[in-house]
Amino acid sequence: MYFLLANLSLIDVCLSSTTVPKIIKDLLNEYKVISFQGCMAQICFIHIIGGVEMVLLIAMAFDRCTAICKPLHYLKIMNSKICISFVITGWVTGVIHAMSQFLFVINLPFCGPNKVDSFYCDFPKIIKLACTDAVKFEFIVTANSGFMSMGTFFLLILSYSFILITVWKRSSGELSKAFVTLSAHITVVFLFFTPCMFLYVWPSPPPSIDKNLFIVDFAIIPALNPTIYTLRNKDTKVAIKRLSKKISYSRFC
């Protein structure tokens, strides 16, 4: 579990690093320019990292399902080989997911407008700048990224629902405890996939909504994920309580 969490935290840092530094640089400069090569590289990294994170979230759902439904077999099932296999599968999936769209977009003819009305480069925005009929390419992006996001989201929701139903059948009194345990995972799933589905299932959102979703997806969520999981840790809770007691004691003394 902690191995998967460590990889998820690393992925969150990488996801923010693909866009946020460029945004900060643009905010400090009058001319906001990105090269075609830089734009393509940014798109590739975003989709590779996004694919890895989806697989890691599936792996963590499988981890929780094993821990709650088969606790006696947990260490045997979730061994180091399985965890490493999940991470490798994530990177392979991410690369295939990104390259399957990149190979279509890189060869498009660009001969007209070159302004991207967004904080970052992405396939739907670049396709609109091409000097060709973009309908079929938009369909490819929607079919790939949109369906992948929706499919993974519903798979995760079904997995967590199965866990809760299994616990409820055993003992209704343990249902609330299981829900509290899974609340962090479910929260992260909703936070990650809601902006993704808006961006790729609805490929032409208004610029204001697109920019707000960018802030949520690339700045807020990567910072929230480690916080949400950390606050579920008992040692962290104890440390926070001790710190709050020390602060309150120092104020009154």
Q: What is the DSSP string of 190-237?
A: HHHHHHHHHHHHS-S--HHHHHHHHHIIIIIHHHHHHHHHHTT-HHHH
- Token pair 């950390």 is found at 230
Residue-level pLDDT at 31: 77
Is residue 68 within 8 Å of residue 34, measured between CB atoms? no
Say whether 119 sits in a helix, a strand or coil.
coil
Separation CA 96–CA 201 (nearest Å): 20
DSSP conformational letter for 143: I
2-252: CATH superfamily? Rhodopsin 7-helix transmembrane proteins (1.20.1070.10)
Residue 234 has pLDDT above 60, yes or no: yes
Residue 203 has pLDDT above 60, yes or no: no
Lowest mean per-residue pLDDT among 88-92, 156-160, 201-205: 201-205
Is residue 213 within 8 Å of residue 195, measured between CB atoms? yes
Q: What is the pTM of this model?
A: 0.80
Separation CA 16–CA 197 (nearest Å): 19
Q: Residues with Cβ < 8 Å from 185, sequence gap 6 or more?
A: 60, 61, 64, 160
Distance, C-alpha 240 to centroid of its chain? 27
Residue 77 has pLDDT above 70, yes or no: yes
